[in-house]
């Protein structure tokens, strides 16, 4: 026997699916924008970034920032300006270096995660000997500073700042300060 769904029932079935998708999107926007201080997050665009660096817009913004979830399994939200977004896209799509001609600013108000070698150096990709290390709330200047030239440390340390991925095109300044404490 063929089961026929009347048109009315089909519409009723379709509606909850749409509502669920909308609810998931609202939840994603909430999680992603939590990466920045509220005034920045509220005005920011929101996007999804895939592990291969593909970006899909979810909503437009007005302040030049885009919030997304870092596709490294950490589920950490990040909100970055246009230079930062280009930097992350290049990193996840496997480009040898970021395209930036100016520094990018990115907020990670919920903290994050990185891979560390037994020597305590942070590395872009995990290996058999690296471990995952949690990061506190911080913000970043995405520009290839050199630890040697600046006198900055290349590892997390009590001073709160260091050059991550020192000596690589993806070197950048990590600042362990909570962006939500900005007045
Ligand atoms: Cu970093």
Give the pairing of strands 55-59 and 66-69.
Answer: unpaired
Domain-located, residue 2: no
How close is the Cα of 82 to the center of ligand 1, in Å?
Answer: 17
How close is the Cα of 145 to the center of ligand 1, in Å?
Answer: 12
Domain-located, residue 1: no
Domain-located, residue 136: yes
Domain-located, residue 152: yes
How close is the Cα of 94 to the center of ligand 1, in Å?
Answer: 16
Domain-located, residue 88: yes
Alpha-helical segments (H) within the chain: 7-33, 38-43, 82-92, 147-150
- The predicted model gives 77-81 an average pLDDT of 98
Please say if the pLDDT value at position 165 is more than 60.
yes
Domain-located, residue 37: yes
Please say if the pLDDT value at position 4 is more than 60.
no
How close is the Cα of 140 to the center of ligand 1, in Å?
Answer: 6
Nearest to 78 by CA among 52, 55, 94: 55
Number of domains in the chain: 1
Please say if the pLDDT value at position 74 is more than 60.
yes
Domain with 40, as residue range(s), is: 7-181
């Amino acid at each position: 026997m063929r089961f026929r769904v009347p048109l009315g029932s089909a519409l009723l079935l379709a509606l909850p699916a749409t509502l669920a998708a909308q609810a998931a999107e609202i939840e994603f926007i909430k999680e992603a924008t939590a990466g920045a201080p509220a005034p920045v997050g509220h005005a920011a665009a929101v996007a999804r970034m895939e592990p291969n660096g593909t970006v899909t817009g979810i909503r437009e913004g007005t302040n030049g920032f885009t919030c997304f979830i870092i596709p490294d399994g950490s589920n950490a939200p990040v909100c970055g300006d246009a230079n930062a977004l280009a930097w992350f896209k290049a990193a996840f799509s496997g480009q040898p270096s970021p395209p930036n001609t100016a520094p990018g600013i990115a907020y990670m108000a919920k903290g994050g995660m990185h891979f560390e070698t037994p020597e305590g150096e942070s590395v872009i990709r995990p290996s058999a000997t690296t471990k995952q290390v949690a990061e506190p709330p911080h913000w970043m200047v995405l520009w290839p500073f050199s630890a040697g030239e600046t006198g900055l440390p290349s590892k997390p340390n009590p001073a709160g700042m260091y050059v991550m991925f020192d000596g690589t095109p993806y070197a950048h300044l990590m600042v362990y300060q909570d962006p939500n404490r900005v007045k």
